[in-house]
Amino acid sequence: MSLFVLGTGTDVGKTVITAGLVGWLRDRGRDAVGIKPVQTGYPPDDDVGFVTEATNSEDAGVCLRYLEPALAPAVAADVEDTDLSYNEILQGCRHKLKAANPGVVEGIGGLRVPLAEEMEVIDLAADLGLPMFVVARSGLGTLNHSALTVEALERRGLDVWGVVLNDYAGETLAERTNTNVLESMIDPPVYTMPALDLVTPDEAVTAVRENLPSSVLPE
């Protein structure tokens, strides 16, 4: 069973979670691979590079398409005046998932991000049909974003395995109350993680393994 890591938006910690899960699975003897359908803002943004560095393995990550503008994939392709085929992305993900054991697909931004040919990230998630793991911020505003994301995914028939609230320090009242409140709003379990945007590749696997239960790993 593979897994899809989706964020409630950009820069919420999807890449660290993906790298951590892939590295954790590889430490357990699995040939796990992080799969990035489209990487925009490249260079310098390189999510697959983070995964391969975190796992010390060049074959631990793969990206199907790179685009330079730091924009939604469909918009970036339009700016570059280049074709971006949704079917090629979908079939490419399926091919990589079939070869992986298991695959961890990392989304692009949030679920309504334009992907290609009027299709969005949520369409790719639904067509792949993988269990979902949602990454969100821990502070003020996350209740709305997280609950709406989970609701939208479940309405498309997707199984949400959990929500991880990133950058948790417990310094604000919103942070300290959001976990329990969100758990009362949605069915999936809610976890917290420290500031993932500050985690280096060398620390990613340890950070994920120390803060998440092994039950989040795909079988």
Q: Is 129 labelled as part of a ligand binding site?
A: no
Q: Is 14 labelled as part of a ligand binding site?
A: yes
Sign of CA dihedral 140, 144, 149, 151: positive
Sign of CA dihedral 119, 190, 158, 152: negative
Q: Is 47 labelled as part of a ligand binding site?
A: yes
Q: Is 166 labelled as part of a ligand binding site?
A: yes
Q: Is 106 labelled as part of a ligand binding site?
A: yes
Q: Is 38 labelled as part of a ligand binding site?
A: no
Q: Is 109 labelled as part of a ligand binding site?
A: yes
Active-site option among 4, 18, 36, 76: 36
Which residue from 36, 34, 43, 59 is spatially nearest to 205, judged by alpha carbons? 34
Q: Is 205 labelled as part of a ligand binding site?
A: no
**Tokens representing residue 204 in the block:** 């990613």
To the query of whether residue 36 is one of the catalytic residues in this protein, the response is yes
Q: At what angle do helices 201-211 and 14-27 cross, to 10 degrees?
A: 80
d(CA 57, CA 212) in angstroms, rounded, equals 22
Annotated binding-site members for ATP: 11-16, 47, 106-109, 166-167
Active site residues: 36
Residues at the binding site are 11-16, 40, 47, 106-109, 166-167
Going by the annotation, the residues of the binding site for Mg(2+) are: 15, 47, 106
Q: Which residue ranges are tagged as binding site for substrate? A: 40
